[in-house]
Chains A and B, each alone.
Chain A
Amino acid sequence: DIQLTQSPSFLSASVGDRVTITCRASQGISSYLAWYQQKPGKAPKLLIYAVSILQSGVPSRFSGSGSGTEFTLTISSLQPEDFATYYCQQLNNYPPTFGQGTKLEIK
């Protein structure tokens, strides 16, 4: 199975900050990488698919980039509602796998 490693695991930031989360794959996954946001007690919400395509309704302050084995999620200016846990996910090869998560907390 393809392993996805996110860094950092925890991130403390302030409203208005720009933050970047990295996801590294154990082997190349082409462009089949997605990002999710999860708030406590809720299901994950799809933010970005195919590395950089925003899901409908997702604010433009979210962006994704990368290729091969290294990918990033950037939030350009943190809003209060962005404090949550973020996961990357690949589906280049079955089974689909997820990163361990990055918890974004308010500083």
Chain B
Amino acid sequence: GEDVEQSLFLSVREGDSSVINCTYTDSSSTYLYWYKQEPGAGLQLLTYIFSNMDMKQDQRLTVLLNKKDKHLSLRIADTQTGDSAIYFCAESMLSGNNDMRFGAGTRLTVKP
């Protein structure tokens, strides 16, 4: 199975909060990331969190890390239609240049 797991789909109404969840298996992960991919485009880094942090907030984005449960979440407050995209969770141990592992991505659909 995948080292990083995410639900494939999430649908919310405009103005609501979105919560995208991710679980990972490697307890030695050093950094955890959220990337956003808009249709037909590459991935854009949204935010990342170091493994010794529990939370990181950046404007409408809040990242929560539960290291004990190996659970990472991304909360988007006041979700807008422009937030519709695929969101990828990723982990890295920084043990080398090829160790970043991505989840399959969660497709967020924001309905007006």
* Co-complex (A, B): no
Residues of B within 8 A of A (CB): none
